[in-house]
Chains A and B, each alone.
Chain A
Amino acid sequence: MAGSFIEGRTLTTNVSLDCDVCIVGSGAGGATAARVLARAGLKVVVLEAGGYNRKDRFTMQEHETYPLLYQEGMRRSTVDLGIGILQGRTVGGGTVVNWTTSFRTPDHVLAHWRERYGLTALTTEALDPHWDEMEGRLGVYEVPEEQINANNRKLWDGADALGWSRERLRRNVRGCRQVGYCGMGCPFDAKQSALITLLPDAVEAGATVISDCDVRRLRIADGRVVAVEGRFHHPEEGDRLTGPTLVLRPQVCIVSGGAINTPALLMRSDLPDPQGRLGRRTFLHPVAATIGHFADTVAPYGGIPQSVASHHFVRRTEGMGFFLEAAPLHPVLFSGALTAHGPQHREAMEALPKTANVLALLVDGFDDSERGGSVTLDKDGSPRLEYHYTPRLWEAVRAGIEAGAKVLLAAGARRVLTPNEPPLEILGESSLHRLAEQVYVPNRVRLFSAHQMGGCAMGADPAESVVDSDLCHHDVRNLHVMDGSVLPTSLGVNPQFTIYGLVHRAATQLALRANAVKME
């Protein structure tokens, strides 16, 4: 029997339910788990804090869609405001707003996880069938060269001129109209987000997906999750939780709230954590974005948002690695990212149609000196993220900006503006040395993150991890974490398919075990 989508904001009475599986969060991880487990015949209820927003609400207006679709209306950041955090909060989570770039986990990352964290089961061969299944469902294809927009073409041409490796990206879309509004939700249902693929599959197989429900805590007794407690809210009430309450009593609880939110929920639930692992080692792929002004029109807001990458520096030996991609630039996002002030800010805004950008995404978490970020709880129980900056990180920020500037200049930029605060203006290679004279501390360089990973790391050793490679919690037997928070390091590639692969594998195994128990 088919299940349903329920808009929690419409509920007026308290809800109390039993089910086989409760999944908290409906993003990449939660939706994958829901699809697998519902199809295995289990009674699945998915709870999502964000709204059930579909394409009729994807108006292609930043000021309307950001408050609807992002954590804290897109104002989330580290506590010192040094790193802006872009993270989804809607039915479908980050998959609704992401830029569709689709990478499997690199071999060398899995090898590092096996060696350093004892994750011996995680081999490319073990994950390939899960990726095959997910890529098939989500329509992944490789962008042909003629579909590269002018913004990405600067990276394509610049890397080529410099002799750096470059590649065309794979994306999860069907019938993309190349309009460029992926970050505001695809208005054509071309992007194969969880909202229009995995969640409808799960509902068709009997799952119930309930929106507008913020899960506040899990109740634990005798080493098991016995109840999941949430509260409904209405978007017009802002972030205030004013609606009825919800209590679910599941056999199995899966937390898929994403990095930052998942460790926060587990902390609010007073889970055993003697080693203080929860919320530690949250990695961000911190991004430093460099922009270039060109003579011709670039229109960085139109066309396929991301189609090119360069992994030339991902395993550099001088320090932390980074990879290069481009981002779609729309005025609200761009105005907030610019490090210019007053008239200079305006001048850069007016140049937007002729602006291209190169992002340097720093690959944090591979050196033992790097602790990434730590999540703790604020007085009201909401997460606070503090990032531990290291000299190694700042060196890579500078090197990443330099690489971005070189690419843009090689592609013909007349002028480059760096994310230093205030921005450094670079007219040619000869002034790149001035990057070394800038101050590198939080808020003297604009950084942001669209990839949050870790905080509930997988690992064989319970002393340094929260879940095992099957994503089972080490201490609480019927609790699983299935989202980006389980990654023990960052990746050096965009994360959605790493999450899809790991969760598809773990959920498939869980379905087998759960059904075996039911048969008994």
Chain B
Amino acid sequence: MTAGTTRRGLLKRGLLGGLLLAAGGSTWLALRPSALAALPDEPLRLLTAAQYSILMAVIGRCVPDPVSTLVQRQETALRIDATLAGANDRTRADFTQLLGLLDNALAGLLLDGNPTPFTHLDATAQEAVLEAWRTSRIGLRRAGYQALRRIIVTHYYADPANQAAIGYPGPPKGVL
């Protein structure tokens, strides 16, 4: 690679990164609203209904049926909501922006030529989007995928029942 192409590559990435954040951050740029999931009985502490729905869609891909039931996925989303409610402003903003970006029609249109928001896609198409983020040449997208999967799986396996289901014995009984 010559110095010239490296420089152009970086510039492009920089611009694209800025664009992505701008698109994710401002909801008015979205062309289509998120498809809303049924809300849990318990009230949400931080996430909006739209953000919750996007999160539920990604949870459905990271711990899909039959690994998890709908109730387990809802509990996972609620635990994530509680964590974010206790987190600092930067973490909250980063995460909610990330959810917005994933479901943002304009960002999808500009980067992938597909304006359909994530929550409107079927499972196979959602997998393709996540896989594209996971292996993207754009660092921001790779990081976005990691942030989503890590928070989801660590909150799913936070539940002792879900730990027991994979054969983890938990703390030895009667030692405390």
Chain A residues close to B by CB (< 8 Å): 59-63, 67, 72-73, 75, 80-82, 177, 179, 181, 187-188, 238-240, 299, 301-302, 330-332, 334-336, 338, 341-343, 345-346, 349-350, 352-353, 378, 380, 382, 421-422, 439, 441-444
- Shortest Cβ distance from residue A109 to the other chain B in the assembled complex, whole angstroms: 33
Q: Which residues on the B side are within 8 Å of A301 (C-beta)? A: 168-169
Q: Does B71 contact A (CB under 8 A)?
A: no
B88 adjacent to A331 (CB under 8 Å): no
A331-B64 in contact given A341-B134, A380-B89 (Cβ < 8 Å): no
Q: Which residues on the B side are within 8 Å of A338 (C-beta)? A: 153
Q: Which residues on the A side are within 8 Å of B114 (C-beta)? A: none
By Cβ-Cβ distance, the 8 closest A-B pairs, closest first, are A238-B86, A63-B158, A60-B171, A443-B142, A335-B153, A239-B88, A331-B157, A335-B157
| CA–CA, A116 and B174, complex, Å | 54
Render B56-70 as a binary contact track against A, CB cut-off 8 A, 1 for contact. Answer: 000001111001000
A331-B62 in contact given A73-B83, A239-B87, A341-B134 (Cβ < 8 Å): no
A342-B62 in contact given A81-B147, A378-B90 (Cβ < 8 Å): yes
**Which one of A63, A187, A330, A336 contacts B176 once the chains associate, using CB atoms below 8 Å?**
A187
**Which one of A187, A342, A422 contacts B175 once the chains associate, using CB atoms below 8 Å?**
A187
Closest chain A residue, CB of each to CB of B171? A60
- Shortest Cβ distance from residue A457 to the other chain B in the assembled complex, whole angstroms: 27
Q: Does B48 contact A (CB under 8 A)?
A: no
Q: Indicate the member of A80, A301, A341 with the most B CB atoms within 10 Å.
A: A341
**Which one of B156, B167, B176 contacts A335 once the chains associate, using CB atoms below 8 Å?**
B156
A332-B157 in contact given A341-B134, A342-B64 (Cβ < 8 Å): yes
For chain B, the count of residues having a C-beta within 8 Å of the partner chain is: 46
Q: Which residues on the A side are within 8 Å of B175 (C-beta)? A: 177, 179, 187-188
Chain B, interface SS category: helix
B139 adjacent to A442 (CB under 8 Å): yes
**Which one of A75, A302, A382, A421 contacts B134 once the chains associate, using CB atoms below 8 Å?**
A421
Q: Which residues on the A side are within 8 Å of B86 (C-beta)? A: 67, 73, 238-239
Chain B residues close to A by CB (< 8 Å): 61-64, 67, 79, 83, 85-91, 127, 130-131, 134-135, 139, 142-143, 145-147, 149-151, 153-154, 156-160, 162-163, 166-172, 175-176
| CA–CA, A70 and B75, complex, Å | 24
Closest chain B residue, CB of each to CB of A334? B157
| CA–CA, A467 and B162, complex, Å | 49
| CA–CA, A61 and B158, complex, Å | 8
Additional A-B contacts beyond A238-B87, A342-B64, A349-B157 (4; CB < 8 A): A301-B168, A353-B166, A380-B90, A421-B135
**Which one of A302, A331, A345 contacts B163 once the chains associate, using CB atoms below 8 Å?**
A331
